[in-house]
Amino acid sequence: MGSAVLVLAIGVWLVQDGVRTELPPRPSSAQSFPAAAAPADDGRQRATKPSIPGMGASPPIRIRIRAILVDAPVIPLTLDAEGHLEPPPPDDNNLVGWYEGGVAPGQNGTAVMAGHVDNKRGLSVFYGLGSLRPGAEVEIERKDRTTAVFSIDAVEEYPKDRYPSDKVYGETSRPELRLITCGGRFSKETGYQSNVVAYAHLTRAKSA
């Protein structure tokens, strides 16, 4: 998946010049994985939170997270000539990007979606990501008229200089989803100091 490239890109472009009347919510230890558990192929985690069989390949077109009032279109993201992930347009507050070089949400593997936390106009689509609680549902509407429904397993915050790329982007045999934005402390010189990552697994599929 080119995780090193993705880490660099996310650290660079997710939220540069937003309007910050207050910092976005930060996940607490209660939202994190237990110390002995890990996402993806850790047997203990999978045994307590089973997933359903993977869906076929189909691009996502919309994301809904009712717990944080997200209802946004999805666009594909690619890599630029330098191998960096192209960001969603910075002037759109309600838009999420999907890394189309990876799997589609609902397929077996780790699907990656990213969005801004704020921009020059104000708060953006993933501003509330850090407040998601385990068990919250994420609905991904797909082009084939199916909807992949995920359940949040954990939400964690990582300093950008200690971003655990293997944990975030590691291979998994079941359908999983990562939602990523910026967060933590903010500096006018360097932007947000951390990334917020929500981990989720597929729980059901719906047809239109």
pLDDT above 90: residue 37: no
Number of domains making up the chain: 1
pLDDT above 60: residue 6: no
The β-bridge relationship of strands 118-119 and 122-123 is: antiparallel
Distance CA 128, CA 27 (A): 10
In our burial notation (b when 16+ CB lie closer than 10 A, e otherwise), range 23-38 reads ebbebeeebbbeeebb
Residue at token pair 């809904």: 64
CATH number (domain holding residue 136): 2.40.260.10
Query: pTM of the prediction?
Result: 0.85
Query: Under 8 Å CB-to-CB from 3, ≥6 apart: which residues?
Result: 165, 166, 168, 169
Q: What is the pLDDT of residue 50?
A: 65
Range of the structural domain that residue 181 is part of: 3-207
Distance CA 88, CA 90 (A): 6
Is the pLDDT higher at 17 or at 174?
174
| Token reading at 145 | 């008229």
Stretch 88-102: mean pLDDT: 90
Confidence of residue 20 (pLDDT cuts 50, 70, 90): low
Residue at token pair 């697994």: 201
Beta carbons of 40 and 170 less than 8 angstroms apart? yes
pLDDT above 90: residue 61: yes
Beta carbons of 185 and 19 less than 8 angstroms apart? no
**Please, where are the H alpha helices in the chain?**
3-13, 43-48, 165-169
Q: What is the pLDDT of residues 142-151, one digit of tens each?
A: 999 999 999 9
Q: What is the pLDDT of residues 101-141, one digit of tens each?
A: 999 999 999 999 999 998 878 899 999 999 999 999 999 99
